Structure 1
Amino acid sequence: MNRPSSVDGQDGLFEAPESLQPLAERMRPRTLDDVVGQRRLVAEGSALRRAIESGRVHSMILWGPPGCGKTTLALLLARYARAGFRAISAVLSGLPDVRKVLAEAQARFEAGERTVLFVDEVHRFNKAQQDAFLPHIERGSILFVGATTENPSFELNSALLSRCRVHVLEPVSADDIVQALQRALGDAERGLGERGIEVEADLLALIAQAADGDVRRGLTLLEIAAELAQDEDGVITEATLAQVLADRTRRFDKQGEQFYDQISALHKSVRSSNPDAALYWLCRMLDGGCDRIYLARRLTRMAVEDIGLADPRALAMATEAWDAYDRLGSPEGELALAQLVIYLASTAKSNAAYVAYKAAMSDVREHGSQEVPMHLRNAPTKLMKSLGYGSGYQYDHDAEAGVALSQTAFPDAMGERTYYQPVERGLEIRLKEKLDQLRAQRGQARGKS
């Protein structure tokens, strides 16, 4: 098994004196055994671990949330493979920077040395920039490791994806983050061991919980708490943490996949008549800073798409809640959105109107510009009347039961259609009874005419 070696050319990742580096950087794992979390990927005997330990590694995309270990895995890959390491950020680098790094890697390759090229936030590179890596990956002059917090299927071009294996990293659990915090507290060389910092287990767990799956964030919070604890004889107290953890935020990306995952969870919780789950996801999005008007608009859509005529009051409540938020603003107006979510999730559901609309729209596209039947046309002039406009029209209010049963309302070439099929829930139970009876009567009347 290859042992990790020192890595040259790390572009500043470990060049500064350790005393100047933040705790999270100083405590970065140096072997696979030091990695916390990601057991599926780096557990003993796993395919990726065997590849890294043997030095027979492949170009890859590491997809996961911030602080889950993407950079660390790339560094370890280079160490175990005894390869040079170069890191660039798609946020800070342009195509000239990419070409320069690739030229350096090519020179090393020709000298018989390998280079691991780590590209952070690779999804921020455009197609042309991503394409620049392809020939170098193919000839093996670089081992490409791209890191992204976004779904590679949406953000990376297919040519790059076809040359890399995608590894999915998960948020690190609170228990694993506690392990990383304990290691930092006990490490006298790189961590806080020399300071003799004391902290109770339940407070350490609170820091890990506040880290929200991000090891780097957890270590940063611990470092800040340790600095404050110097004035408290080295003891991290509840009061200390109250200062450190004030106004912390959860993971949320207004433009990324987490955003769409969470609105999907909210919508599906409403559809599943689970008000508790729906309220949870609403609060997650509110907490993450989601645009409240966007939420009001999406909730209004749920009222018409998933509740519809099973409870027509839902749409009125949605527009009223939207208006209430406009008038009250945050935070008071958010209660109107919460109340709406609970109602939408609790009331009867039907997508019959939504399905009917899509079916009718499909017929419109398929059958084109059909003529309006003559008996349904308006005839405001003598000429139009003489041409037969309005001829044969039956005024429904004069018919028995207020419906002219034998009269069709569809274009002649299409014949009758049935789009709306009410479900047996909510108000649609009564609508279904009425429409079933009318449709049957219409069929009989047309059969006699």
Structure 2
Amino acid sequence: MNLFDSLENSNKQVPLAETLRPKTLDEYLGQNQVVGENTAFINLLRSGRLFSCIFWGPPGCGKTTLARLIASNTNSEFIELSAVNSGIKDIKDCVEKAKENLRYNKKTILFIDEIHRYSKTQQDALLPYLENGTFYLIGSTTENPSFQVVPALISRVQVLMLQPIDDDNLYSIVEKGFKYLSDKHGPIVLKQQVIDFIVKYATGDARLALNLVENSYFAADFKDNTRCLSLEILESLAQEKRIKYSRQEHYDMASAFQKSMRGSDKNAAIYWLAKMIAAGEDPRFIARRMIVCAAEDVGDADPNAFNIAVNAHKSVELLGLPEGRIPLALAVEYICDAPKSNAAICAIDEALDDIAGGLDYPPPMHLRDAHYKDAKKYGFGKGYVYTHDNPEYKQQFLPDELKDKRYFK
């Protein structure tokens, strides 16, 4: 390290979240389903077995920290890349370093943050080295790997889903943050409602919580060598929180929204509607899901529900937001309160399954097109009875092979 590096490091303001990053697995809070006692993951680590994996979870849930702890617990070299600013050249450099480590009986872990941002070519470049054991890969992503990571790479790693930090552990993290700052910079007076606010605001994101702890500590009123942090100061500092809404959450919210309407729970449906609107979802997409629900789940039990949903779509196109939220809410209420029938979707799907399964037959001769001169010569249309002329006459419309089939039960 030269003089300039030393000056750079001394002038850095290291964030509290980085300072308090756990150094051992015992300090690691949350993710008990992964790192709890006698879990498969912990047993593998204790046996000294490394494996390639991808940590999938929301921001601030401990993905990077867990990767670093794996490296330290297995005495492996930890090489960290960000998919945002690295590429194939960096991967090749890691390969050379990993090969050198193997000569000294040392394992290498290549950690790639935001691995979903790598292109297919960049992801494919990892495959041969995973195959031959040159290094172990740990990727982290906030996006569903099934959508963002190539299948060839998915098949070579274990995907571990991490959850947002639970409130109990988040309380411990927040309290630890304030204690560290108090010990280093002086005491602070705060009420329990301040900690409650931070935990609620962070919604499982430890990094966000510690950033707010740090900023609010130094923003607090300072008098007689003591800081005093009020809820008002904290609220003004936090202001409006950005709603977490990844591609995966886009699908999850839409699924919860439609299932709530199907289940006739208008309170749940209006909540998911509000969450999608607050996250900036396209209101036309929301309205399209309502049209689908009205057709699929209400159907002929109340055909007007379909008209209501279509008109809601037209309304949001005309009004936009925020006014468009009102017709959307009205349509949600109507669809939820309407009686339900899935007869139409069941009928069409059963018919499609029959055709796909080989029950693919031509129309009976009397139903075939007979409007042209030579049609009669082929027997097309012969025996067809115009229904309006004889509405009581029973004639066959299905193929002979399916004449007794009933798709609508």
- Name the CA shift for 1:44/1:118 in 2 (closer, same or farther; >3 Å): same
- Name the CA shift for 1:420/1:391 in 2 (closer, same or farther; >3 Å): same
How far apart, CA to CA, are the structure 2 residues paired with 1:34 and 1:122? 26
How far apart, CA to CA, are the structure 1 residues paired with 2:86 and 2:281? 30
Aligned to 1:403: 392
Q: Are 1:293 and 2:281 matched, yes or no? A: no
Deviation at 1:129, TM superposition (A): 2.5
Deviation at 1:73, TM superposition (A): 0.8
Contact 1:300 1:315 in 2 (8 A): yes
Give me the TM-score of the superposition, normalised by structure 1. Answer: 0.80
How far apart, CA to CA, are the structure 1 residues paired with 2:20 and 2:12? 12
Aligned to 1:143: 136
Counterpart code for 2:407: Y
Deviation at 1:44, TM superposition (A): 3.9
Deviation at 1:389, TM superposition (A): 6.1
Deviation at 1:166, TM superposition (A): 3.0
Deviation at 1:53, TM superposition (A): 5.4
- Name the CA shift for 1:417/1:55 in 2 (closer, same or farther; >3 Å): closer
Deviation at 1:158, TM superposition (A): 4.5
Deviation at 1:212, TM superposition (A): 1.3
SS at structure 2 position matched to 1:309? helix
Contact 1:373 1:412 in 2 (8 A): no
Deviates more, 1:213-222 or 1:141-150: 141-150
Q: Are 1:359 and 2:350 matched, yes or no? A: yes
Q: Are 1:20 and 2:2 matched, yes or no? A: no
Counterpart code for 1:37: G
How far apart, CA to CA, are the structure 2 residues paired with 1:172 and 1:96? 35
Contact 2:178 2:217 in 1 (8 A): no
Q: Are 1:373 and 2:365 matched, yes or no? A: yes
- Name the CA shift for 1:394/1:115 in 2 (closer, same or farther; >3 Å): closer
Deviation at 1:102, TM superposition (A): 1.9
Aligned to 1:349: 340
Aligned to 2:243: 250
- Name the CA shift for 1:49/1:195 in 2 (closer, same or farther; >3 Å): farther
Contact 2:51 2:136 in 1 (8 A): yes
> CA deviation digits over 1:220-250, x for unaligned, max 9?
1222222321567622212112212221023
How far apart, CA to CA, are the structure 2 residues paired with 1:309 and 1:171? 42
Contact 2:110 2:138 in 1 (8 A): yes
Instruction: Count residues in correspondence.
Output: 400
Which of the numbers 289, 304, 307 marks the counterpart of 2:298? 307
The residue correspondences of 1:47-446 to structure 2 (distance < 5 A) are: 47-52=40-45, 55-188=48-181, 193-230=184-221, 234-253=227-246, 256-362=247-353, 366=358, 370-371=362-363, 373-374=365-366, 377=369, 379=371, 391-399=382-390, 402-405=391-394, 407-411=395-399, 415=403, 417-421=405-409
How far apart, CA to CA, are the structure 1 residues paired with 2:185 and 2:286? 50
Deviation at 1:302, TM superposition (A): 0.7
How far apart, CA to CA, are the structure 1 residues paired with 2:364 and 2:334? 41
Contact 2:361 2:399 in 1 (8 A): no
Contact 2:369 2:375 in 1 (8 A): no
Deviation at 1:150, TM superposition (A): 2.8
Deviation at 1:334, TM superposition (A): 0.9
Counterpart code for 2:396: T
How far apart, CA to CA, are the structure 2 residues paired with 1:411 and 1:40? 56
Deviation at 1:416, TM superposition (A): 5.2
Q: What is the aligned-residue RMSD (CA, Å)? A: 2.9
Deviation at 1:345, TM superposition (A): 1.9
Structure 2: gaps (5+ residues): none
> CA deviation digits over 1:147-179, x for unaligned, max 9?
122333443344434443333211101221121
SS at structure 2 position matched to 1:323? helix
Counterpart code for 1:355: C
Counterpart code for 1:117: L
How far apart, CA to CA, are the structure 1 residues paired with 2:276 and 2:375? 58
- Name the CA shift for 1:16/1:265 in 2 (closer, same or farther; >3 Å): farther
Contact 1:119 1:145 in 2 (8 A): yes
Deviation at 1:386, TM superposition (A): 7.9
- Name the CA shift for 1:139/1:364 in 2 (closer, same or farther; >3 Å): closer
Deviation at 1:315, TM superposition (A): 0.4
Give me the TM-score of the superposition, normalised by structure 2. Answer: 0.87
- Name the CA shift for 1:393/1:134 in 2 (closer, same or farther; >3 Å): closer
Deviation at 1:338, TM superposition (A): 1.8
- Name the CA shift for 1:29/1:388 in 2 (closer, same or farther; >3 Å): closer
Contact 1:379 1:385 in 2 (8 A): no
Q: What is the percentage of aligned positions where both structures have the same residue?
A: 36
Structure 1: gaps (5+ residues): 1-11, 422-449
SS at structure 2 position matched to 1:234? strand
Deviation at 1:280, TM superposition (A): 1.9
- Name the CA shift for 1:198/1:102 in 2 (closer, same or farther; >3 Å): farther
Deviates more, 1:24-33 or 1:384-393: 384-393
Contact 2:115 2:141 in 1 (8 A): yes
How far apart, CA to CA, are the structure 2 residues paired with 1:263 and 1:210? 23
- Name the CA shift for 1:386/1:123 in 2 (closer, same or farther; >3 Å): closer
Counterpart code for 1:283: A
Which of the numbers 8, 13, 38 marks the counterpart of 2:31? 38
Deviation at 1:364, TM superposition (A): 5.7
Deviation at 1:375, TM superposition (A): 6.1
How far apart, CA to CA, are the structure 2 residues paired with 1:44 and 1:74? 18
